[in-house]
Amino acid sequence: MRDGRPLEILCVAGARPNFVKLAPLIAAFDATPNVVARILHTAQHSDARMSRVFFDELEIRDPDVLLDPGAGGHAEQTARVMLGVGAALDERRPDLLLVVGDVASTLAAALAAKQKGVPVAHVEAGLRSFDETMPEEINRLLTDRLSDVLYTTEAQAEANLKREGIDSGRIVFAGNVMIDSLLRCLPRATPFEKSLASLEAPDAFIARARSGYVLATLHRPSNVDQETTLAPLLGALVEISRRAPIVFPVHPRTQRMLARPSLRDVIRSGDILLGPPIGYLAMIGLMRDARLALTDSGGVQEETTGLRTPCLTLRTSTERPATIDCGSNRLIGVEPESIVAAACEILRWGGARVERTPPLWDGKAAERIVADIVSRFG
């Protein structure tokens, strides 16, 4: 208790990956006496397929504060989030603001709190791709610089922070809250055949998928925003689909590009099932049952590691080296020939599961984070 009142935490989330990280933290806060955790949803992802379904499936209670960032560019939305978070901080004056991940809302909320003199905790701190052309890398660097306490998921993240001059007393190796959600929800994961049916997969596709399928996700601007880059990646998927069918839930950013007839023609030449973004329970079911995942997503790299499903990351850098160190993930780059060769190699030897996961990816990260917050700020 602080002056006879509970410890009050304002937890900020705004996009699909944030919700997966937020769910176990809210559950742990709610189970802790004399702690009040409030949820502020910045609505960076407001599409029901990218937001509401995650609150429902992850069993997160409704937000206490829901912002409306409105239309406009990145800078305009960031400014509106800062204003909205600032107003919420003025109204409640919490003891701590907690942010997760590396999306624009993460940085905007941390900036607003720092300007108001409210301490900031960053969950999933210290991850570095060392590629500052990625918006997420800038968000990570600045959020970590602003944060008072930094919770890391892997050893390399702590090393990154120390190299950048962050005092070790502010760094806590807590584990990975993404894996907390994964392990908690896995018993309810949607069987892959049910997901394929909901995506209206042809019977022939489902029959072939029973012998093994590949899951693909692509959404990074560097991969999907230019046709000259995306077309060769799609060509690689087509080639891989000759060996195993591919399930490809398409991010809205990528959907806009696939509306181009030339790219639709490329993808139609393969055994590839395109679908809209899918819910969390369907996604973890597809990852669990896949022989291989092809992705440029940080979250998929982590979740496939937790599931011991082989993963090829279609990027030239990754901020999650622990997934590579344990053998579940391979950084393959964006050259189509390399992608096809690596995928076919895995499919030939059956996509055997990896037998170990990184330290503290054990489903208890949120408990450790909440205990540390109470000891520091309670």
How buried is 331 (Cβ within 10 angstroms: 0-12 exposed, 13-18 middle, 19+ buried)? middle
First vs last C-alpha separation in the chain:
6
Question: Phi then psi for 93, rounded to 5 degrees?
Answer: 50, 65
Distance between CA atoms of residues 306 and 154, nearest Å: 13
184, 214 contact by CB (below 8 A): no
Residue 153 corresponds to which tokens in the numbers above?
């998921």
C-alpha distance from residue 219 to each of 98, 158, 296, 320 (Å): 26, 27, 7, 17
Strand partners, 40: 12, 65
294, 314 contact by CB (below 8 A): yes
Residue among 41, 74, 122, 219 flagged as catalytic: 219
305, 316 contact by CB (below 8 A): no
Apex 175 CA angle, 353 and 350, nearest 5? 10
Is 251 assigned a catalytic role? no
The catalytic residues are: 219
